[in-house]
Amino acid sequence: MLCKSEKAEDLLKEWKEKLKLNEGLEIDSTSVILVKSDLFFSLYERITRIVGAPAATLLYFVGEDYGKSVYRDFAGEAGEETLKKLCDFTKATGIGDVEIEMDEDSKKIYITASKGFPIGKRAKGRAADSYFAGYFAGFFSELYNKKYEGTEEECLAKGDDRCRIVLKEKEE
């Protein structure tokens, strides 16, 4: 087990103390925006309606950029702690509870959201949480300095009973 969402409440408490409303909302001078999770479903639905299947790829890349930027904010912290913080950050920002494991033989990384990721909870049909697959792939690519590719193999949206993303190293 690499990490599991456990101390998300501590992180929230810390943010509550640091949250400032200057020109905009800020935590530690990082500009933040609080939105309802509806935004993600709406993005998914609207973009899919316009561009079709490539929407998943588009959202994946946006998520990947975000995951990399989250890693850069965590940088400087030790390995174990960085991973714990990822799981807690993921829960504290509303993405949900996750458990992250690595298969030592294949080196694949499995990210399981037993209650699902936000888009898959509402979408129907195919796996819908490519944004989050990108987010984790981006984070781990920076953390381990390797290129990871993420695929959501199980998703509530296609009738599975959980969402599960698999990251594997991409051959350069």
- Least CB distance from residue 41 to Zn ion, whole Å? 12
117 touches Zn ion (CB under 5 A): yes
CA distance linking residue 42 with residue 48, whole number of Å: 10
Site residues (CB under 5 A) for Zn ion, limited to 34-93: none
Give whichever of 120 and 150 is closer to Zn ion, judged by the CB atom. 120
Is residue 118 part of the contact set for Zn ion (CB under 5 A)? no
Give, in degrees to the nearest 5, the angle at Cα 150 between 148 and 156.
160
Nearer to Zn ion by Cβ, of 3 and 155: the residue is: 155
Which secondary-structure segment (H or E) carries 47?
helix 38-51
Partnered with residue 168 across adjacent β-strands are 149
135 binding Zn ion? (CB under 5 A): no
Q: Which one among 63, 120, 138, 150 touches Zn ion, defined by CB under 5 A?
A: 120
- In whole angstroms, how close is the CB of 122 to Zn ion at the nearest point? 10
User: Strand (E) positions, 13-55?
Assistant: 19-21, 25-27, 30-31
Q: Where are the beta strands (DSSP E) in 79-136?
A: 99-102, 109-113
Q: Provide the binding-site residues for Zn ion, judged by CB under 5 A.
A: 117, 120, 129, 155, 163
